[in-house]
Structure 1
Amino acid sequence: MKSNFREVQSEAALGDAALASAETRVDGVGIALGITGAVLFSMKAVLVKMAYGVVPDLPAVTLMVLRMGLSFPVYVAILLIARRAGEGRIGWRETSAAMLAGMLAYYVCTFLDFQGLKHITAQLERLLLFTYPAFVVIFGALFFGGRITKGGLASVALAYSGLAVVFVGGDITQSDNLWLGVGLVLLCAALFALFQLIAKGFVDRIGARVFTCLAMIGAATALMVHFLIASGGPSGMIEALRLPRELWAIAVVLALFCTLVPSFFINMAIGRIGAQLVAILGMVGPLATIIAAIVVLGEPFGLWDAVGTLITLSGIALYTRLGQKKPNKANPRQT
């Protein structure tokens, strides 16, 4: 009996060890997915700057069409698969609202961002975009019944004090149209924060996968109408897409590795390790942009740029940490 009991204990211990090992592997995969997704997303700014280097007068809408056109069919396919599986069964009114929200984030915001990148460095663009949680705090309090806490105010103030350091003494602000670029990117960050607040309700009702696909389809529709008008019709569209092979190569990488792949990686990471930890891991994005911009684009980066960036990232980290303490009843895995 004792021998049998010991065998059962041993098997139980091995089972517990295997389970713990599996959980560790899952966490490791989730962390790897989160970091990889954040890095790939952050490379967008560098690739856009490279595209403008190939064709300096390239319209932002043309580059957006290349990016969306190459990734759009995949999102349509995923939506059809999700609908066939019974996900996100909603009426035309909610479908239209989700598509309109997508137009705000992936058409209007992207257009502002791409236009802003014509005037400022990739490093400064990523740093400015990364302050969008400040707008989440403000808009949440003004329009969505949220409240501004002392910790939230402190984290926002810390983030923007870092930007102030960069503007006063940094090298990455070298630009002939600095304030135009900064204004466009900050407006992009503000509108994206508004989108995130709007999107939460949709995600709760129809799921992240269906909502993302509907949002992308809405954005692509608005983008194609814009491109059609700007190019003067179908023949003009064909002419506008006669671009150097090097630019097409950049567009393929932008669509696949800076849009499609990271969007799935981030969703998979959220499923494994929770949204809060994914948000914290996202802080590697600006750092990756800085390294790539220095190595690939030859952008400057001095001591005060480093100090200001560190302060800004600390402010965002504080904001994320404070948000992490709030319980999430909808998803107990997000801790």
Structure 2
Amino acid sequence: MATGDGMCASRRASRAARARPMIPMMTETHPRSWRIAGFALSAAGAMLFAIKGVLIKLIYRYGIDTTSLLAMRMVLAVPVFALVGAYQWRRLDREGRPDARTICLAMLVGILGYYVSSWLDFQGLQTLDAQTERLILFTYPFLVILFGRMLFGHPLRAHALIGAGLSYVGLFVMFAGAPTRAGAAMLIGGGFVAAAAITFALYQLFARELILRCGASLFTAIAMSAAGLMALLGFFLTHPAAALVPPRGAWALILALAVFATIVPAFLMSAGTARIGAQGTAIVSTISPIVTIVVAIVVLGEPFGWPEAVGTLCVLGGVGLFSLIETRPRSYQAGEEGPA
């Protein structure tokens, strides 16, 4: 018995000895500038994602409808993700590749998150201003918590309820305080964007396990490719092929939407997350609504008065409170899953 205990202790000591040098080694290999670069990459990705709504509002001035714009975006973006997916697939050995069931599930989840959610968001922007759209979408973390509780029995924490309440109070102030937002068209647009936030929250919940099975890059490639095919199918069922060619003046904006508000920020966020983790990326992403509001005011001439100021502070305060508390280091018992 003593010998067995000694062997166990020896093995534990050996593992500890191997584990201890890892922190200094990472510090030497990845100096402080590595983490600074991670924050910069994540911030750049969040800011590029933030201009999406403004670009869409500018494109709509050319009379392009939601289905056509989504198809145009996918035509330009999907080939890049498909190439990345093919590269990731070739890197995996046969045993490490996801099976057919996992691939099919990744495709279905991708259609939910990248097609259905995007279509609802794009449709909402037909009548809703860009800054309100970004703030409504930014409440999706609370919906992840709510649906996680309803569907998977995840714990429902008090700080999530407080943060959600503060955020939705902010949205109420924005709609109630500005008469133009209380009109039927704006409310319908807000409903579309709220539905987009719901479907994106469901996507986040269902995607987690599939990302672990496939890897982030391969999962994104599969999901985006499936969403792109669905977007093109929806387009060709309802539009003539000629409608896929936009007016000449809109080309630059659509290219910017596909490249600088879809492809580039996706890779920037991935690179940033690799350096600072998902927790750091979540906190850095709180810059996104601020960028959207500033660009919408400067480029689109959207109003910004006391309802917008109070609403923005409430939403950012609610999400910021939730993010800071949710990402605090916690102690985990054996067998529990640590922070991502």
Q: TM-score under structure 2 normalisation?
A: 0.87
Q: Could you tell me how far apart the structure 1 residues matched to 2:210 and 2:286 are?
A: 26
1:33-57, Cα deviation, whole Å (9 max, x unpaired):
01100000011100000001122xx
Q: In the alignment, what sits opposite 1:291?
A: 294
Q: Could you tell me how far apart the structure 2 residues matched to 1:20 and 1:86 are?
A: 29
1:220-277, Cα deviation, whole Å (9 max, x unpaired):
111111111011xxxx21x102322221111100000000000000011110001111
Q: Could you tell me how far apart the structure 2 residues matched to 1:258 and 1:200 are?
A: 23
| 1:134 match: secondary structure | helix
Gaps of 5+ in 1: 1-15
Q: Could you tell me how far apart the structure 1 residues matched to 2:318 and 2:154 are?
A: 20
On the 8 A contact 1:41/1:258 being kept in 2, the answer is: yes
Deviates more, 1:321-330 or 1:75-84: 321-330
Q: In the alignment, what sits opposite 2:129?
A: 121
On the 8 A contact 2:147/2:202 being kept in 1, the answer is: yes
Q: In the alignment, what sits opposite 1:310?
A: 313
Structure 1 stretches of 4+ with a deviation exceeding 4 A read 18-22, 326-332
Q: 2:200 aligns with which of 182, 192, 197?
A: 192
* In the alignment, structure 1 residue 204 sits paired with structure 2 residue 212: yes
Deviation at 1:82, TM superposition (A): 0.3
Q: Could you tell me how far apart the structure 2 residues matched to 1:219 and 1:38 are?
A: 22
Deviates more, 1:119-128 or 1:164-173: 164-173
Q: In the alignment, what sits opposite 1:143?
A: 151
On the 8 A contact 1:46/1:292 being kept in 2, the answer is: yes
On the 8 A contact 1:119/1:175 being kept in 2, the answer is: no
On the 8 A contact 1:51/1:247 being kept in 2, the answer is: yes
Question: Does the C-alpha gap of structure 1 residues 172 and 274 become closer, same or farther in structure 2, counting only changes over 3 Å?
Answer: farther
Deviates more, 1:171-180 or 1:286-295: 171-180
Give the aligned residue type for 1:155: G
On the 8 A contact 1:31/1:273 being kept in 2, the answer is: yes
Deviation at 1:20, TM superposition (A): 6.4
On the 8 A contact 2:50/2:291 being kept in 1, the answer is: yes
| 2:181 match: secondary structure | coil
Q: In the alignment, what sits opposite 1:280?
A: 283
Task: Give matches, 1:31-110, under 5 Å.
Answer: 31-55=39-63, 58-86=64-92, 89-110=97-118
Gaps of 5+ in 2: 1-23
Q: 1:258 aligns with which of 258, 261, 266?
A: 261
1:61-105, Cα deviation, whole Å (9 max, x unpaired):
110111111011111111110011007611211111100100001
On the 8 A contact 2:175/2:182 being kept in 1, the answer is: no
1:132-161, Cα deviation, whole Å (9 max, x unpaired):
112111100000120212121111111111
| 1:173 match: secondary structure | helix
Q: What is the percentage of aligned positions where both structures have the same residue? A: 39
Q: In the alignment, what sits opposite 1:9?
A: none
Deviation at 1:331, TM superposition (A): 6.9
On the 8 A contact 1:172/1:299 being kept in 2, the answer is: no
Give the aligned residue type for 2:266: S
Question: Does the C-alpha gap of structure 1 residues 220 and 230 become closer, same or farther in structure 2, counting only changes over 3 Å?
Answer: same
* In the alignment, structure 1 residue 249 sits paired with structure 2 residue 252: yes
Q: In the alignment, what sits opposite 2:304?
A: 301
* In the alignment, structure 1 residue 26 sits paired with structure 2 residue 34: yes
Q: 2:185 aligns with which of 177, 183, 201?
A: 177
On the 8 A contact 1:163/1:308 being kept in 2, the answer is: yes
Give the aligned CA root-mean-square deviation in angstroms: 2.0
Residues paired across the two proteins, number:
310
Q: Could you tell me how far apart the structure 2 residues matched to 1:230 and 1:43 are?
A: 28
Give the aligned residue type for 2:262: T
| 2:154 match: secondary structure | coil
Q: Could you tell me how far apart the structure 2 residues matched to 1:287 and 1:214 are?
A: 31
Deviation at 1:163, TM superposition (A): 1.1
1:265-298, Cα deviation, whole Å (9 max, x unpaired):
0011110001111111111110000010000011
Q: In the alignment, what sits opposite 2:12?
A: none
On the 8 A contact 1:48/1:114 being kept in 2, the answer is: yes
Give the aligned residue type for 1:306: A
Q: Could you tell me how far apart the structure 2 residues matched to 1:52 and 1:174 are?
A: 22
